[in-house]
Amino acid sequence: MPSVMFLAVQHEYCGPMDKNAGSCPKSEEKREKMKRTLLKDWKARLSYFLQNSSTPGKPKPGKKSKQQTFIKPSPEEAQLWSETFDELLASKYGLAAFRAFLKSEFCEENIEFWLACEDFKKTKSPQKLSSKARKIYTDFIEKEAPKEINIDFQTKTLIAQNIQEATSGCFTTAQKRVYSLMENNSYPRFLESEFYQDLCKKPQFPTDPHTT
């Protein structure tokens, strides 16, 4: 299934006014040019997420923040992401690519919530646990939250009760549901996206006509 961005391009070039043309009036060359533009936009989004993929927070005074370097995966490494959803999430480059894809589909709140829960579960301090629980609730759970996720009313009510005495399991049920939603819906679409297919392509080396 093509990505939302690619569908939009198809709609733009093959609109209802082209009925009598038999095919799109734009040449294949222009189609390829638009595909390259979309891939360029993907790479720009990916670059942004790679640069901002570290744990959110202000750097400590007197300490210089280290710039992390991410190496583009080989086609073989990228192909591993299609084996399981966990393989994709375990790769920093893959995770950044998936976040960029979700942003293009206007549902990046799902992966952001999942990542916030992963960070939350690693928190040891009871004070920090409580403050993080409230922030996750106000960002993702409560009605009309800025990044409200799609979960049922009963789960929301249970979370509201649990954060009164926050534990590492406050958001377990909601996180599992969001994970399942991404695994069964967004993940298959990501694997079919132009960007992912491009990462999986092996470089084509020109053949020497004189080679026997």
pLDDT in tens, 36-76: 565 566 566 665 555 554 444 344 444 444 445 567 899 99
Is the Cβ–Cβ distance between 75 and 201 less than 8 Å? yes
Q: pLDDT at residue 156 above 80?
A: yes
Least confident among 63-77, 145-159, 163-177: 63-77
Q: Which helix (H) or strand (E) holds 132?
A: helix 126-136
- The Cα–Cα gap between 30 and 32 comes to 5
In this prediction the pTM is: 0.68
- The Cα–Cα gap between 56 and 119 comes to 10
Least confident among 55-59, 157-161, 201-205: 55-59
Q: What's the distance, CA 204 to chain centroid?
A: 28
